[in-house]
Amino acid sequence: GENVEQHPSTLSVQEGDSAVIKCTYSDSASNYFPWYKQELGKGPQLIIDIRSNVGEKKDQRIAVTLNKTAKHFSLHITETQPEDSAVYFCAARRNSGYSTLTFGKGTMLLVSP
Amino acid sequence: GAVVSQHPSRVICKSGTSVKIECRSLDFQATTMFWYRQFPKKSLMLMATSNEGSKATYEQGVEKDKFLINHASLTLSTLTVTSAHPEDSSFYICSAVVAGGRLDTQYFGPGTRLTVL
């Protein structure tokens, strides 16, 4: 089955800095890679996703890059703000049948004012 | 769009009782819903996949007689924790996939905090 590794487990940055979270996956058949933001006591919120037919996707201050050859994908947050502080999860999935998302272990991002 | 709700948000019960958690897709129909469990500072652990009108598919190690799942309509799935014990205390989260949409885009509910005394 799929295995998703996520690093770092915690990341502290100053407001305005950039933050990068990296994930690797093991199943070469995976072709869907979402990122979720989870605030304390709440459910995960989909913030961006990428499919294997593209290498990069941007949405305002958030971007995701995908390297299928190396089987890794990354989340980039620019101009971080204190409200970006949360736990971020990456995930991977085969887009077929009843495949389910496999999640990384999460990264706690702390943005200091 | 694509809002998923859960009820209740928090529940405290006595050991031995059963607790039902509801998951609703508010503005879309969901043929597939998922139930996850999350321990403090841990990732999401998939418990089961629920398809409307059919039996749920449970992940290995999840007791189907303890965690009863019913997906009776395209907008509602329920998880019943039967004969709850303190070790069942956890954060339970459901998610839903838009019917007829991409199978991969999952929207999560806000979660239910279960505490068993």
Residue whose pair of structure tokens reads 């949405």 in the numeric block: A59
pLDDT, chain A, mean: 93
Pairing label, strands B106-108, B90-98: antiparallel
Among residues of chain A, what percentage have pLDDT more than 70? 96
Give the span between the Cα atoms of B64 and B82, in whole angstroms: 10
Q: Which residues of chain B, if any, have pLDDT below 70?
A: 1, 99-104
Chain A residue numbers touching B49 (CB-CB < 8 A):
98, 100
Mean predicted confidence (pLDDT) in A10-32: 96
The per-residue pLDDT for A2 is 86
Which has more confidence, A67 or A96? A67
Chain B residue numbers touching A109 (CB-CB < 8 A):
none
Is residue A95 over pLDDT 80?
no
pLDDT, chain B, mean: 91
Phi, psi of A83 (to 5 degrees): -70, -5
B62 touches chain A (CB under 8 A): no
**Residue A33: closest CA among chain B residues belongs to which residue?**
B104
**Token duo for residue B38:** 């999350």
Give the span between the Cα atoms of B113 and B116, in whole angstroms: 10
What pLDDT digit, counting tens, does each position of A41-74 carry?
999 999 999 988 889 999 999 999 999 999 999 9
